[in-house]
Amino acid sequence: MKNRLKGRYNYGNLWLRKNVFIKSGMIEKKYISDIDGLRAVAVLAVILFHAGYRWIPGGFVGVDVFFVISGYLITKNILFDVEKKHFSFFDFYVRRARRLFPALFVTLLISFVFAYQLFTPAELSRFGQSLLYANMSLSNFFFMSEAGYFDAGAELKPLLHTWSLSVEEQFYLIWPFVLVGMLWFRNKKVIWIFLLISALVSVYASEAMIEKNPSASFFMLPFRVFEFSIGALVIWAESLKPRQKYAYDVMTLLGLGMILYNALVFTDTMKFPGYWALIPALGAALVIYASKFSTVGRMLRSKTAVGIGLISYSLYLVHWPLIVYYKYWKFNPITEIEKVVFILLSFLLGFILWKYVERPWRLKRGDDSKTHFTFIVPSLMLLLAFIAANTWGFRGFPDRYPQAFQLSAEEILKERNRYWSGQQDEKLLKGEEGEAHVLIMGNSYGIDLIYALKENGSKLNLTFLPTSFHCSNFGTLPNSKEEVETCMDIKKKNFSSEKWQTADRIYLFDNWTVLDPEQLKKTLREIRELSDAPIYLFGPKMDYVRQVPNIVKRYMHNGNLNQVGRKYQNDYRIEQNRKLKALFDTPSYRNDRIYYIDMMSSQCGKDLEGCEIISSENQKFLFFDNGHFTREGAYQFGKKLKKDHPELF
């Protein structure tokens, strides 16, 4: 038995062969100020992006830089401890918990206090879900599952930024076992080959998954592993020394340039991460490798850069909830001065969190502190889980507000589900035998029309050809370059339908994101080639720049909520409606049986001063978000539309 164990060491109950990794002394564990300087670059990019500065549309790549840094430091720390024969899984996880959890838990608790004070019950219930997932280091799963058409905007997600922390925490959980497993092999090259292969496989999988499930590619660890692996591979690269010292300056400049290029040029509409993420990842790797030997690296080693880097984790934690809650409370876009104040306040709060929470816990030493910490962390997790579960389970505590001024989470979910089921609901679409067959083509606002018809007694037989909010002009005109293929596929599918041949009427509905008269005329000519049935083209309806339930909650004590609602109208809809009316008010279109329906006049009155968000008849909500009708809203609108255009019913 002694012979079998000769030359091996027990690290965390695992037997490792002696000196199988690298020669002793190659791995150095010392503070590198350049990395804190790089952290400063990353966190500043993220904060400026979140503050809404348009000149840095790709600031989100700061997160990718953080992943590379983590891959480098965590791998190096583990390998150093293994080489020095004192690696312990328990010690590793305690150090990680000290580094991350105290500041995170404080942020989560304070975020709950503000959410409780500000959010509607439906929003607070959703916050409770995100709090529970963030507490368990699984928020990336939660926010991935939320991605979709009716997903709440980022301004209602104060814990959205914790997705990246969850990815890192999942990486920390798995990575030590992976590295220790690789060390069982006698050939020291195995680990580097493994890291290279894992990086190649991960980035390829990320690129492939973007087409199938872009949310999974963005939020899930397997499709981000390549960034951690690239950071780890820097350790191997450090054994390679260039002959010319100026090469370090070139590489540092190139790396910083790659990161800066990404931040200034990338946009959140790009297919990301995938291959595009290699640019910031490799840029960060170059900086880590070269900056400590370069003259250019002095910028990263400056007191200011290092100081920002030291508080970067706490700064990252506090900045996003701060801007979310401020925007929510203000209820209007923030000004340029407010952006500056927000950034300065983020630094102040980040410094306070770092000095009084993150740093003290991180620097505690001794066995007693380990035992004490391993008791406190589970206790705080249980407390947060209790708060989160009750917030979610009790539906955001609706008793905080008068029932008349809220839509419950269940009511909003019911309205959303009605929208999706309405597209395929045969009972809803089916009319009476012998009634006209109407083909409706449009986006989700077209579903508003379906319910407006059916809730007001229409017996028409309907066929619904769905388009997309990404594609204007009835699904034929992409709103961005990234949606060209999507819109072409939608158009091809809808225009090849056999239902055109049997249609007695054609209703065209759009949200008019892009208004292109020439493209509109072309589309109408193409439709006319498919059918000679009368065409009714429905103009824009009034929608809002804010979620209607939030407007009502914010001004619930105001005497006239509908008057308040007019402050938040998308008034450009009025100009769109005017242009469309002028375009179709010609004999040529009427002779071709193409008729324009002025939706806005029916909805808001001829003077367009009567738009409502709450029914003046029964005080019920007419919208469940910023533009989609509740069932009551569809009924009320349909009643007005039927009075103005009975022929449609």
DSSP conformational letter for 356 = I
Q: Which domain holds residue 489?
A: 404-648
What pLDDT shows up at residue 161? 94
Domain boundary among 400, 425, 460: 400
Beta bridge partners, 17, equal 8
Q: CA nearest 188: which of 404, 71, 316, 16? A: 16
Do residues 65 and 214 both lie within one domain? Answer: yes
Residue 350 has φ and ψ, to the nearest 5°, of -65, -40
Do residues 601 and 475 both lie within one domain? Answer: yes
Residue 19 covered by a domain: no
| 260 Cβ contact partners less than 8 Å away, ≥ 6 residues apart | none
Return the half-sphere exposure (C-beta side, CA atoms, 13 A cut-off) of residue 493.
Answer: 14
Do residues 187 and 289 both lie within one domain? Answer: yes
| 578 Cβ contact partners less than 8 Å away, ≥ 6 residues apart | none
Do residues 259 and 134 both lie within one domain? Answer: yes
Q: What angle, rounded to 10 degrees, do the helices at 572-584 and 517-530 form? A: 50
Residue 9 has φ and ψ, to the nearest 5°, of -130, 145
Task: Between 383 and 402, name the one with better pLDDT.
Answer: 383
Do residues 114 and 230 both lie within one domain? Answer: yes
Do residues 333 and 418 both lie within one domain? Answer: no
Cα 602 from Cα 610, distance rounded (Å): 10
Do residues 284 and 415 both lie within one domain? Answer: no
pLDDT digits (tens, 9 = 90+) for 322-362: 999 998 888 777 899 999 999 999 999 999 999 999 998 87
Residue 65 covered by a domain: yes
DSSP conformational letter for 27 = S
pLDDT digits (tens, 9 = 90+) for 492-502: 888 898 999 99
Residue 379 covered by a domain: yes
pTM: predicted TM-score of the whole model, two decimal places: 0.77
Sign of the alpha-carbon torsion through 207, 208, 212, 213:
negative
Q: Among 81-85, 446-450, 591-595, name the one with the lowest average pLDDT.
A: 81-85
What pLDDT shows up at residue 21? 39
pLDDT band at residue 369 using 50, 70 and 90 as cut-offs: low
Residue 245 covered by a domain: yes
Q: CA nearest 295: which of 241, 349, 249? A: 249
Residue 402 pLDDT exceeds 50: yes
Q: CA nearest 229: which of 61, 73, 71, 69? A: 71
Task: Between 416 and 367, name the one with better pLDDT.
Answer: 416
Residue 2 pLDDT exceeds 50: no
Residue 23 pLDDT exceeds 50: no
pLDDT digits (tens, 9 = 90+) for 535-587: 999 999 999 988 888 888 878 766 688 888 888 888 888 888 888 888 888 88
Residue 10 covered by a domain: no
Domain boundary among 400, 418, 444: 400
Share of the chain above pLDDT 90, in %: 46
Q: What mean pLDDT is reported for the chain?
A: 86
3-class secondary-structure state, position 569? strand
Do residues 395 and 422 both lie within one domain? Answer: no
Provide the pairing of β-strand 14-17 with 535-538: unpaired
Task: Between 403 and 393, name the one with better pLDDT.
Answer: 393
Residue 15 covered by a domain: no
Residue 600 covered by a domain: yes
pLDDT digits (tens, 9 = 90+) for 529-548: 999 999 999 999 999 988 88
Residue 187 pLDDT exceeds 70: no
Cα 493 from Cα 333, distance rounded (Å): 39
pLDDT band at residue 11 using 50, 70 and 90 as cut-offs: very low
Place of tokens 């005497």: 559
Residue 380 covered by a domain: yes
Do residues 410 and 392 both lie within one domain? Answer: no
* Residue 442 parent element (H or E): strand 437-442
CATH number at residue 634: 3.40.50
> Would you state the structure tokens that stand for residue 605, as one six-digit string?
């009155």
Torsion of CA 235, 239, 243, 245, to 10 degrees: 40
What pLDDT shows up at residue 424? 59
Provide the pairing of β-strand 8-11 with 14-17: antiparallel
**Tally of helices (H runs) and strands (E runs) in the chain:** 30, 9
Indicate the number of domains in the chain.
Answer: 2
Contact 141, 436 (CB under 8 A): no
Domain boundary among 400, 434, 452: 400
What pLDDT shows up at residue 268? 76
What pLDDT shows up at residue 17? 35
> Would you state the structure tokens that stand for residue 631, as one six-digit string?
């069932």
Residue 29 pLDDT exceeds 90: no
Provide the pairing of β-strand 477-478 with 505-509: unpaired
Do residues 257 and 386 both lie within one domain? Answer: yes
> Would you state the structure tokens that stand for residue 258, as one six-digit string?
């790659």
Do residues 296 and 421 both lie within one domain? Answer: no
Burial 281-292 (b: 16+ CB within 10 A, else e): bbbbbbbbbbbb
Cα 72 from Cα 239, distance rounded (Å): 14
